[in-house]
Amino acid sequence: METKGVAAIVTGGGSGLGAASAAKLASKGARVAIFDMNEETGRAHAAKIGGSFFRVDVTDVASVQEAIAAAEKVHGVARVLVNCAGIAFGTKTVGKEFAPHPIEQFRKVIEVNLIGTFNVITHFAARAAQADPLGEERGVIVNTASAAAFDGQVGQAAYSASKGGIVGLTLPVARDLAQHAIRVVTIAPGIFLTPMMAGLPQNVQDSLGKQVPFPSRLGKPEEYALMVHSIVSNPMLNGETIRLDGAIRMPPR
């Protein structure tokens, strides 16, 4: 799909991988709507790239529906969706003093990362499916999983389950939406320099980067964004999960 003049939505677009994706799409002429919970960073980034900001809780049906409708009034029917909104907690299945993993924490990660992703997908697709085709397709959806979907580490039960769920829904959703000419592709990034990672000491960042076979460094958000644009641009990419990880396979710890 040609991005110039096309309306796009990026969830979690106020920072990290989402912010880089939003900037990349905007640089290619897309009219970008940032959906994020953080108003300060979301509005600032939207202003920087010439886009629009909408405060959205991806787990809430009404919030998503209202934001999609509001973004459409500003930019037109969205044809590109990039799902980057997500959270992460590190908790073992059985913790110190034999404490069980807090089930509410597990449920929250699933709710935001997996159910939130699907919530935005289904409402975006329901609208895009009614739009006229742009060439041979009506829309493109790019989801964010993680290498943890395949190589979950100690303490990542909830996070890995949520990202594994995104991998699992990619093909069936692509098949569901094929009749509407909407593609679905998932990216599973490895270790990237996100705001959470940037908060770690430099020696820890360097140590993590050295675990990557090549290039032996942390991934750059701009490299994730480059993959997003490549997926949007290539009509034969569909129903697949692409690892973007420098060939790393995460160790247990």
The C-alpha atoms of residue 78 and residue 7 are separated, in whole angstroms, by: 4
Active site residue 159: yes
The C-alpha atoms of residue 102 and residue 93 are separated, in whole angstroms, by: 9
Residue 196: φ, ψ to 5° = -65, -45
**φ/ψ bin of 251: left (φ > 0), alpha (ψ from -120 to 50), beta (otherwise):** beta
Among the listed residues 54, 159, 192, 224, the single catalytic one is 159
Residue carrying the six token digits 């020696």: 203
Half-sphere exposure of 22 (CA within 13 A, CB side): 32
| Closest among 183, 106, 96 to 138, alpha carbons compared | 183
Give catalytic residue positions. Answer: 159
